[in-house]
Amino acid sequence: MSKISLIICSLILLSACSASEPDPMDFAGQFRDAFSTQIKGNGIKLFVYKAKLATALDRSIPGDAPPERRIRSKQDFQSYQIEQRDAEKRLELWHQQIDLGLRKTIEMNGYCKTGFIELSRYVETERGEIRGECNDGATAEDMKKFGA
């Protein structure tokens, strides 16, 4: 009987160890972002970067959100704790994804040539927003490209 218990415990530990951590690529194709700019009269360049996870409708996948459930046993409680840890890891990766998205967007459009100062940040599980001010002032080319 003890060999069976040992085998079962080993299988449980092996399955727990094989659970992969969330990867930043988990968000590939799963979010939408927007970048808006504002150039003030004195040449100050401001921006707002918004990102949100795509909904099932955005991805053309039927929604399958599970209903709320109660914790009924010790095993359910342990599963709940694992889900919470995974949610925290996913939120941390979401922060990283938003930072990466903003950096890539600014690189592609050339809005802030010498970096920026982050004025505010709001990030939650499915959406985020970063407001910032460019370190460089607006040039005539910036005014033409991004509006005054």
Residue with the bigger pLDDT between 27 and 94: it is: 94
Going by C-beta distance under 8 Å and a sequence separation of 6 or more, which residues neighbour residue 71? 77, 80
Q: How far is CA 64 from the centre of its chain?
A: 21
Q: Is residue 122 part of a domain?
A: yes
Residue 84 structural domain? 24-57+77-147
Q: Is residue 115 part of a domain?
A: yes
pTM of the model: 0.63
Instruction: Indicate the pLDDT class of residue 66, thresholds 50, 70 and 90.
Output: low
Instruction: Indicate the pLDDT class of residue 76, thresholds 50, 70 and 90.
Output: low
Q: Is residue 46 part of a domain?
A: yes
**pLDDT (0 to 100) of residue 138:** 93
Sign for the pseudo-dihedral over CA of 65, 68, 74, 80: positive
Question: Quick check: 19 pLDDT over 60?
Answer: no
Q: Is residue 66 part of a domain?
A: no
